[in-house]
Amino acid sequence: MNSLHKIYVPPIKIQGIKTKLVKWILEQVDFSTDGKWVEPFMGSGVVGFNFRPKKALFADINPHIINFYNAIKKGDITSQRARIFLTEEGKKLFTRGEKYYYYVRDRFNDEHEPLDFLFLNRACFNGLVRFNKQFKFNTPFGHKINRFSKSYITKIVNQIKYVENCLSVYDWNFICQDFRNTIISAKPDDFIYCDPPYIKRHTDYFNSWSEKDEVDLYNLLKNFKGKFILSTWHSNKYRENEFLTRLWKNFNILTKKHFYHIGAKELNRNSMLEALVMNYSPKIIMHNKSTETKMKSLFEFA
């Protein structure tokens, strides 16, 4: 991993994405072995994608996220194919408006095509990935018929190209499975980064999260013989995460203030104190701009 490099954003947006927290998280990663980077809750994958381990297992219970990245890995989705698809679908959206968005949403819920998932992810309201009780994508339209401008498509294409290039040099695997199976299969030389749904903060039907899930996660990580980092929330202006003191208090905990922009109204967009829980001593980081390195050759896109 290149220290303090430019942060690359994944092509699939997920609520709670850690883009602005990646550098803070990666500063605390202590992983220098030949083991595997393991993410039991892949979500956007932004942390692992920027760490760029030689070997990684990205797991998630949402099959559509996993299908999308496996399609890139198999070559079914390429950056060039994505450009053509988004250009064509973007023109239809601009011409036919909101009705076309819901047409694609119905098509995706019937056929589960990964490129339709990408289209919906970028055209839906606020980039929210949300499913109903029947596991059908149900996020409404984002009200921008001109969403897929040429520059915006190029931005998404470059994000896919970054993943393509990583997959050409690194041994990364994507699997749809429960976090319990992922953590149980991890070896002592592996490093686990966990970003589960925040307890009492986030619910959808692929990623609902109960107190039992939090307790199961605690027990699995407590007994893990390798190193781990867990992302969770500490507090906001209304309340505190009771599980930090109930479960995680015997681990090292770091905090950082972060502002989320996922509310529909500005008054719902509040800052939160983020927390990192780890089973080893945190690092002391001295920031120096001269230590920042630019990505080279394989990972640079103008």
292 versus 212: which is more confidently predicted? Answer: 212
Q: How far apart are CA 105 and CA 103, in angstroms?
A: 5
The pLDDT of residue 300 is: 46
φ and ψ of 241, to 5 deg = -80, 105
The pLDDT of residue 149 is: 98
The pLDDT of residue 206 is: 66
pLDDT in tens, 78-96: 999 999 999 999 999 999 9
Q: Does 100 have pLDDT greater than 70?
A: yes
Residue 75 near residue 102, CB atoms below 8 Å: no
Domains in the chain, please, with CATH?
19-61+177-299 (3.40.50.150), 77-157 (1.10.1020.10)
The pLDDT of residue 237 is: 80
What pairing do the DSSP bridges indicate for beta strands 227-235 and 191-194? parallel
The pLDDT of residue 230 is: 97
Mean residue pLDDT of the chain comes to: 88
CB pairs under 8 A, 24+ apart, for 246-251? Answer: 247/214, 247/215, 247/218, 248/218, 248/277, 251/277, 251/278, 251/279
pTM summary value: 0.89
Residue 232 near residue 272, CB atoms below 8 Å: no
C-alpha atoms less than 13 angstroms from C-alpha of 89 in its C-beta half-sphere: 26
Mean local confidence (pLDDT), 275-297: 64
pLDDT in tens, 105-114: 999 999 999 9
Q: Does 291 have pLDDT greater than 70?
A: no
152: alpha, beta or left? (left if phi > 0; alpha if psi -120 to 50): alpha
